Amino acid sequence: MNRRKFIQNTAITGIGISAGMAALACAKTSEEKKTNTEKLTISGSFPLVIATWDVKEATAKAWEVMQKGGSSLDAIEQGCMVEEANADGQSVGIGGLPDRDGNVTLDACIMNPEGDYGAVVYLQNILHPISVARKVMEETPHVLLAGKGAEQFALEIGFEKVNLLTENSKKAWEAWKITSQYQPIINIENHDTIGMLAIDQKGNISGGCTTSGLAYKMAGRVGDSPIIGSGLFVDNEVGAATATGLGEEVLKTVGSFLIVELMRQGKSPQEACEEAINRIVKKSGERIKDFQVGYIAVNKQGQTGAYSIQKGFVYTVYQNEENKKHIPEYYMKS
């Protein structure tokens, strides 16, 4: 690390520690706060990557990009691409479970530190929706392209046409067709949308989210993942958040934007994730036991947080040279 970078990192870390201390002091004096899951991670230095689910190869890729001096935006794109290309993952990219008609349709979005946003929804036949989302952000006058138009744009700028329905996913779909019983319930095992947030050596934050959405969804269904403020939100002055789980619930509460705004008001990433889950819980009554939503968040100082409704959600953090799966606290326990 050169001297300038060292000074930069130390300065950022300094802010992180004092902000962390202040937050801790605040948490101690607050009698109202339930002593649930306050967990602050104080950044040693950047870069930092946090992602939904156990995706160590993806976080390792993102980390490697930033360790070499690359931007958080490049890290997000390349990290998400790892899971999109993984045919065994049945919720992202190739190998994703199809909709009820047998079509694999992908949703993705990306945000850079300037607050720019690009997204694709209902995209078919393209291996890397996260890269197409970035191109929408950087090379079009728009922010969101859908369906055939998104595919046409991707093909025109050089992406290849690929069959995304693998033998395994086709078999699973054929087995599902025997009963064709669609219930808008996600089993915990069914989740692994990749939501990824990164802070690079300069302290700049980017984020991305990529998914094949819910298995056997109705044709045309779009979830939270590609929608700014719901599946993802980045504000380089404050922090970032991303979601996984039943997209309909995240959309109704604009979860990721809510988390970033709560952090702007002084909540830690952990407190903000808990509050966003509580909003869903309050609206859902008895239904709450039937679905999952999980959030992760990071603030400008490199503190991280995560919380979900049900047991089973995990996330990965690559920070301080360590790439590690974490198990967050969850609402149904309390």
Structure-token match 């919720």, residue found: 91
Query: What is the closest distance, in whole angstroms, from the C-beta atom of residue 200 to ligand SD4 in the complex?
Result: 26
Report whether 117 contacts 228 (CB < 8 A): yes
Nearest distance, CB of residue 211 and ligand SD4, angstroms: 5
Q: Which CB, 313 or 318, lies closer to ligand SD4?
A: 313
Nearest to ligand SD4 of 301, 310 (CB atom): 310
CA 211 to chain centre: 10
Report the sign of the C-alpha dihedral through residues 287, 109, 125, 123, in that order: positive
Closer residue to ligand SD4 (CB): 192 or 200: 192
| 165 within 8 A of 105, measured Cβ to Cβ | no
Q: How far is the CB of 285 from ligand SD4 (least distance, A)?
A: 20
Pair type for strands 232-235 and 239-245: antiparallel
Angle at 138 between CA 135 and CA 144, to 5 degrees: 65
Burial (CB count <10 Å: 0-12, 13-18, 19+), residue 152: exposed
Shortest Å distance, C-beta 220 to ligand SD4: 13
Query: Considering just the CA atoms, what is the radius of gyration of the chain in Å?
Result: 19
Nearer to ligand SD4, 79 or 245 (CB): 245
Structural tokens at position 53: 């689910």
Closest by alpha carbon to 214, among 88, 81, 51, 91? 91
Q: CA torsion sign, 66 to 68 to 71 to 74?
A: negative
Tokens of 305: 């947080």
- Catalytic annotation, pick one of 37, 193, 210, 304: 193
Shortest reach from residue 27's CB to ligand SD4, in Å: 30
The C-alpha atoms of residue 207 and residue 239 are separated, in whole angstroms, by: 10
Active site residue 253: no
Angle between helices 72-84 and 56-67 (to 10 degrees): 150
| CB of 136 vs ligand SD4, minimal distance in Å | 19
Nearest distance from C-beta of residue 190 to ligand SD4, angstroms: 7
Interface positions with ligand SD4 (CB under 6 A): 91, 191-193, 211, 213-214, 223-225, 244-247
Is residue 258 classed as helix, strand or coil in its secondary structure?
helix
Residue with tokens 């349709």: 105
Which two structure tokens, joined as six digits, stand for 298? 């990071």
Per DSSP bridges, beta strands 293-299 and 304-308 are antiparallel
Residues annotated as part of the active site: 193
